[in-house]
Chains A and B, each alone.
Chain A
Amino acid sequence: MSNLQIALELLCVGMVTVFIILCMVVLIGNLVVHFVNRFVPAEAPKVKVPRKRTSEISRKRIAAIVSAVNTVTGGKGHVVKIERR
């Protein structure tokens, strides 16, 4: 077989093979995507519900803060709002 004939054969076989393999890449990719979408879809992310901050402050602590303010201001001061920082 002449060398140019080998080159022609390589051109045909090579390009066809590369094309077929990349067709398979596309096919396998699509199959995997469909399979995963059907059987292993992503779990919905768990949303953390923020707790109400006021409930985090215990009654004992509120009582302690109120009495501390009373003592420091001599009964003149009032606690209107307690915020955690």
Chain B
Amino acid sequence: MDILNKLYEMTAFGDIFGNPGYIVMLLIGCLLLYLGIKKQYEPLLLIPIGFGVILANLPGGGMGVVDASNIQLADGRYMNFFEIAHEYGIMNLLYYSLIKTGLLPPIIFMGVGALTDFGPMLRNLKLAFFGAAAQLGIFIVIFAAIFLGFTPKEAASLGIIGGADGPTAIYTTIKLAPQLLGPIAIAAYSYMALIPVILPFVSKLLCSKKELMINMKEMDRKYPPKVKIKNLHVVKIIFPVLLGIVICIFVPSSVPLLGMLLFGNLVKEIGISVGRLSDTITNAIMNTATIFLGLTVGATMTADVFLNWKTIMILVGGFLAFAISILGGISAVKITNLFNKKKINPLIGATGLSAVPMASRVANEIALEHDPSNHILQYCMSSNISGVIGSAVAAGVLISFLG
């Protein structure tokens, strides 16, 4: 009997049955895996996050990320990485070295830059303005969150979900409210995966059929653009360099994200002479960063941190931030259409939030539903890409104000 008791104590059964929170978290981990594997909702992120949640909530495994106060020593300084690994295991080493230092989100931004084509934006530069209007949800939700009792830093981390950009949301949260990292990352990536549901819902609610049928190519034929680009390749090389310098002088706190995004893009545009670098950024580095980001973010979601009312508020607030951002973009287009002869399809405003290129693809499908000849993908990509810049700038503003 004594041996059986010792065997029971050796396993994790006692802890699991003693604290039902573990079971709830294991179920949440399995749900995330199901959404990633079966439903294909952002599988590259939700599968590592889901598995990270499971690893963190296996009692005795030592894979859950501990609060920063645990790694702070009596004299105010922090443990070094060896001490963290020795005391709290490898997951904490990964978290504090890769996430807490803010390393991985800019690395992922570099990959995003290398996968982004600024061409559609450069061809339709005026549409880039809608990337600004679609950041409205970020700031409106900060208001609501503060009203509901969140601190300004927590509210800003919640609001940034409205930028619809996972790495930006994670980076801002690390800087402002790291204790909310798990639920905010989950909300950001889940809603990004739900763009095919949220975007049609909001745009059909706010736009008439006539507006959704505005044919952009027809408008271009009626009112052709004044300037045609004669050498797009050279423009694409000069643009990220110049843009990086100017923006980063104005909003220096956005340098880690925007600087890396523009570097990645420059490497891509230079072409064959740095093809190896571009290939490494978009494959090896991006994939490695994604794996560790997902696992470590999942590992922050331990039962005691995740299961509270704030998580529910974050999920609701995140949805509102998303919806208001789409509303902001659509409203900006509607206002512009009041004063311009050349009408713009409001779906282009709806894609002003990040979530590249899914938002553009979804908007294009909605446009094609109403008019099979109305291909607006290239136009949507313009506001969509400017939305990436807009959300990174918004994050920079929040960090410099509250950080």
Residues of A within 8 A of B (CB): 3-4, 6-11, 13-15, 17-26, 28-37, 40-42
Contact = CB atoms under 8 A, between A and B. Distances in A.
B122 interface: yes
Contacts of B63: none
B125 interface: yes
B246 interface: yes
A18 B246 contact: no
Contact of B393 (A10, A21, A29, A31): A21
B231 A17 contact: no
22 contacts: A6-B402, A7-B143, A7-B155, A14-B139, A14-B394, A15-B135, A15-B136, A15-B139, A18-B394, A21-B247, A21-B389, A21-B393, A25-B247, A25-B386, A26-B128, A29-B125, A29-B128, A29-B243, A32-B235, A36-B229, A36-B235, A41-B231
A17 B121 CA distance: 20
B398 A14 contact: yes
B235 A23 contact: no
A23 B129 contact: yes
Most interface-central of B125, B136, B247, B398 (chain A CB within 10 A): B125
Contacts of B386: 22, 25
A36 B231 CA distance: 7
Contact of B143 (A4, A30, A36): A4
Interface stretch (B48-56, B146-154, B305-313, B360-368): B146-154
B142 A30 contact: no
Most interface-central of A13, A14, A17, A19 (chain B CB within 10 A): A14
Interface string B97-125: 00000000000000000000000011001
B224 to A, nearest CB: 15
Contacts of A40: 231, 234
A7 to B, nearest CB: 5
Q: Nearest 3 A-B pairs (CB), nearest first?
A: A11-B139, A42-B231, A41-B230
Contact of A28 (B143, B152, B239): B239
A53 B84 CA distance: 76
A10 B121 contact: no
Interface of B: 121-122, 125-126, 128-129, 131-132, 135-136, 138-140, 142-143, 146-147, 151-152, 155-156, 227-231, 233-235, 238-239, 242-243, 246-247, 250-251, 386, 389-390, 393-394, 397-398, 401-402
A81 to B, nearest CB: 44
Contact of A26 (B126, B146, B393): B126
The SS class assigned to the A binding surface is helix
Nearest to A40: B234
B132 A35 contact: no
Most interface-central of A4, A24, A36, A41 (chain B CB within 10 A): A36
B344 to A, nearest CB: 15
Nearest to B134: A18
Contacts of B138: 14
A3 B122 CA distance: 40
Nearest to B147: A4
A70 B121 CA distance: 69
Given A4-B143, A7-B142, A18 B231 contact: no
Contacts of A35: 238
Contact of B132 (A3, A22, A41): A22
A75 to B, nearest CB: 59
